[in-house]
Structure 1
Amino acid sequence: MTFYKQLIHTTIFVIFLAGIVSCGTGNEETTFSDGDSVEGTKAPSFEYGIETDSFSVIQGVIKKNEFLSDILLRYNVPYGLIHKISEKSKDVYDVRRLGRGKNYTLLCAKDSLSTARYFIYQANEIDYVIYYFQGDSVDIKLGAKPITLVEQLKEGVIKSSLYNTLIDSNQNVLLAFEMADIFAWTIDFYRLQPGDKYTILYTEMQVENKCIGIKRVNAVVFNHEGKDFRAYYYKQDSTGADYFDEEAQSLRKAFLKSPLKYSRLSSAFTQRRFHPVQKRWKAHLGTDYAAPSGTPIMSTGDGVITEASHKAFNGNYVKIRHNSVYNTQYLHMSRIAKGIKPGVYVKQGDVIGYVGSTGLATGPHVCYRFWKNGSQVNHLHEEFPPSEPIQEKNMADFKEYLIKVDSSLQNNLSP
């Protein structure tokens, strides 16, 4: 039977999903034999769209320093055919890309030699490669498992941290990063308090009933320090999709709440703090964010670099002028990012340096300083205007969408 005749029902979704890790962890090959016969006609079995009833199905994991030739030789595939597979694979999926720890499936003839006829490589939880070979015939095809989109609604109350709350509730920890990104302009996630709570409606991607990622967060209600912060995913005709609050205002604002994506807050802005190095009480006109050395530091807003240098107390630091009112400064960097120098324009979220402990610092962190009209202020208390709101022509549709989403959220909230 030719390769094409045996590919009975393969549905291919071409979807890129970077950074997905294969779920297989074992190192032993496992053979599955046919079960006991039952009365009536048995439905044919399929693996990767191939009818497998006439084959022995063997599953394994690629070991350290193991190559395709090592596997195929064990199943009586001759050197000449392996060479032909290797050469033909260069135009489709080069066998040199097969990686340690990845799952594979062999379909072998049910005869005394158990010669392999198919080698299926699982590149990740979605994408796979089928190598077919018999006699002088070789064919290689790319495939993808179908993805099912499932709407999920979750809620939680923070006791110690958002991450631990998700773990304790058996919820996807990726939700922490999603919520932190959505509310990056309105909530400082390094200052969450016990009793803060959330309700989140999102679309989950599943393969074979297993979650492989989050496609999109559709709506979130996050109660922080007794105040509800709402976010709704909405797509406008001309400006694309973004998150908006219940007043149709964009959540994007002039400044991010933090210069780091994820870390922990170690020392807040205050007029009186005991300095750990100088051993005396003094004002700390900045906010310290502790993080591992080398963590990227982002510009919290658009602006022009005015200083990128080194001083005894500041260590390696960068200062940015955002407009005639606001300036920001980032201290104690391990190093300043390549290309960052006075006169360079940076956008919100651009990496300008990396966390370190240079200058007067006891451990790796970034001291974030914020100036308003020449005076240092606590950025967490500043209110900034939002970006472009929902357009007037879309307002009626947006309000109708809010009613539907809020109904879904409210109907599923815990009493």
Structure 2
Amino acid sequence: MKTIRLTTICALLLATGACNRTGSQESATENREEAEPRNLLYGIDADNYRTETGEVASGETLGKILNGYGVSAVLVDRLDKASADVFPLRNIRAGHKYTVFIHEDSLNTPHLDYLAYETSNTDYVVFGFADDSVTIRKDEKPCTLRRTKKSAVINSSLWGAIMEQNLPYALAAEMEDIYQWTVDFFGIQKGDRFTVIYDERFIDDSVSVGIGRIWGAKFTQGDKEYYAIPFRQGGKIQYWEANGASLRKQLLKAPLKYTRISSRFTYARKHPIYKVYRPHTGVDYAAPKGTPVHAVADGVVTFKGWGGGGGNTLKIKHPGNLQTGYLHLSGYAKGIAVGTHVSQGQLIGYVGSTGASTGPHLDYRIWKNGKPIDPLKVPQEPAEPISKENRALFEFVRDRIMAELNGEVKPEERITQLDSLVLPAAAPATEGTEQKE
């Protein structure tokens, strides 16, 4: 009726040009209606459907769920084949949420158009059924980032402090990755503390689903402070000390995580099995069987095999006449063999209790020019520092990150991106101040 009425008015008022104005007003109204936000759910306009939400039951298959909504076995089979390389239907797991989108035809007969299945808190896959065809689409829920600064005092361990303060668990892993060359996490004492700035990810502004970038950290161990300042150099973002030295070092502090030291480097340890005093020129890290073991530096595997009392053993040669050894392994990582080149942090094996051992642990050793040295006292050579041409820009970033870590800064003074930074223009000289060329 609205279109007919406008057309009639146009015919009567054509001479005055009022029709054009009215038509423009109608078009603007339609554009405003189209621009209004839709009720999007998994990327689908939910206002066009009746939705139902369920949870996959134990032993339930996607085919069974779809059959319950009238999808034929033929169409389910077609979906199974089409989704094999995107999301195999056998990967459906009990306890995961799904939502169906149903429309009703002119006879009020329901038809299933979409089923959205949540693979995680953030990711989902949408199976579509329209015109007797199938579609599959993987996507993730939109997240908002909330910049957060937290501080904590350690009573037992980094992970313990994270849990006590109800901080995201991922924060502990990220901080261990950042400081793995610098902070001795096996030497943490009660009273050590940290402050960290990070982006926390939220769905619907309320459900935390992990963290984003770490924008800076300060770890205080004893009387030493270790800053971590993010900065892009050489094409990638890394973390740097306050003086511009890289936090990356020649060797990782330890070849594994989530453990404790059960025996240290000594030339007079009473052997737990043989009950005699003999040298123990390594560090024992007690850890559950199967704990991943990583190469502490780039190098080449020189020995892989049975090491007598050391059980399954790996030895790796590194630059600087260094060699590392990994004893009592339960097994080796895939592809590890004599002559294999490994990278720092690469998985090389798994904690075990082979050889002369009373329980699962890693006996980690280092030799310098063939002489054993204490792995906990190895002098560390840092990686390449901040370059001269990047120094001014790095100091600009550092000063603002440190100010935020140690106090409060205005939002406009925060560092919020690291890809196209520009130094602010120098303030003009005040009257009477001589400017140097």
TM-score surpassing 0.5? yes
Alignment partners' CA distance in 2, 1:206 and 1:404? 25
Equivalent in the alignment of 1:101 = 95
Equivalent in the alignment of 1:36 = none
Alignment partners' CA distance in 1, 2:269 and 2:282? 11
- Structure 1 residues 70 and 324: CA distance shift in structure 2, 3 A: closer
Higher helix proportion, which one? 2
- Structure 1 residues 374 and 407: CA distance shift in structure 2, 3 A: same
- Structure 1 residues 357 and 99: CA distance shift in structure 2, 3 A: same
2:161 maps to 1:186:
no
- Structure 1 residues 149 and 186: CA distance shift in structure 2, 3 A: same
How many residue pairs match? The answer is 370
2:193 maps to 1:197:
yes
- Structure 1 residues 54 and 307: CA distance shift in structure 2, 3 A: closer
Equivalent in the alignment of 1:381 = 377
Equivalent in the alignment of 1:23 = none
Alignment partners' CA distance in 2, 1:336 and 1:94? 30
Alignment partners' CA distance in 2, 1:88 and 1:204? 36
Equivalent in the alignment of 2:46 = 52
Equivalent in the alignment of 1:21 = none
The DSSP-based 3-state class of the residue aligned with 1:152 is strand
- Structure 1 residues 244 and 108: CA distance shift in structure 2, 3 A: same
| Structure-to-structure mapping, 1:83-94, within 5 angstroms | 85-86=79-80, 89=83, 93=87
- The one-letter code of the counterpart of 1:383 is P
Offset of residue 193 of structure 1: 1.2
Offset of residue 87 of structure 1: 5.7
2:69 maps to 1:75:
yes
Alignment partners' CA distance in 2, 1:230 and 1:260? 23
- Structure 1 residues 240 and 86: CA distance shift in structure 2, 3 A: closer
| Structure-to-structure mapping, 1:111-126, within 5 angstroms | 115-126=111-122
Alignment partners' CA distance in 1, 2:114 and 2:341? 55
Alignment partners' CA distance in 2, 1:353 and 1:125? 32
Alignment partners' CA distance in 1, 2:155 and 2:181? 23
Equivalent in the alignment of 2:330 = 334
Cα shift readout 1:162-213 (whole Å, capped 9, x = no counterpart): 1121111110111111111111111221221111101111122222222222
Cα shift readout 1:204-254 (whole Å, capped 9, x = no counterpart): 222222222222212111111221111111102x34211110110111111
Offset of residue 89 of structure 1: 4.8
2:212 maps to 1:218:
no
2:289 maps to 1:293:
yes
Alignment partners' CA distance in 2, 1:380 and 1:83? 59
- The one-letter code of the counterpart of 2:98 is Y
Equivalent in the alignment of 1:266 = 262
Equivalent in the alignment of 1:307 = 303
Equivalent in the alignment of 2:363 = 367
Offset of residue 277 of structure 1: 1.1
Equivalent in the alignment of 2:241 = 245
Alignment partners' CA distance in 1, 2:84 and 2:324? 51
Contact 1:196–1:226, Cα closer than 8 Å, also in 2: no
- The one-letter code of the counterpart of 1:74 is G
Cα shift readout 1:259-278 (whole Å, capped 9, x = no counterpart): 11332222222343332112
- Structure 1 residues 66 and 339: CA distance shift in structure 2, 3 A: closer
TM-score, normalised by the number of residues in structure 2: 0.76
Instruction: Give 1 or 2 for the bigger CA radius of gyration.
Output: 2
Offset of residue 295 of structure 1: 2.0
Contact 1:76–1:113, Cα closer than 8 Å, also in 2: no
- Between 1:329-338 and 1:190-199, the stretch displaced more is 329-338
- Structure 1 residues 117 and 321: CA distance shift in structure 2, 3 A: closer
Could you tell me the percent identity over the aligned residues?
38
The DSSP-based 3-state class of the residue aligned with 1:408 is helix
Equivalent in the alignment of 2:20 = none
TM-score, normalised by the number of residues in structure 1: 0.80
CA RMSD in angstroms comes to: 2.8
Alignment partners' CA distance in 2, 1:370 and 1:79? 62
The DSSP-based 3-state class of the residue aligned with 1:63 is coil
Equivalent in the alignment of 2:150 = 154
Q: Which runs of 5+ in 2 are unaligned?
A: 1-36, 410-437
2:56 maps to 1:62:
yes
The DSSP-based 3-state class of the residue aligned with 1:164 is helix
2:259 maps to 1:257:
no
Offset of residue 113 of structure 1: 5.8
Contact 1:256–1:300, Cα closer than 8 Å, also in 2: yes
Alignment partners' CA distance in 2, 1:408 and 1:243? 16
- Structure 1 residues 182 and 121: CA distance shift in structure 2, 3 A: same
2:229 maps to 1:229:
no
| Structure-to-structure mapping, 1:348-363, within 5 angstroms | 348-363=344-359
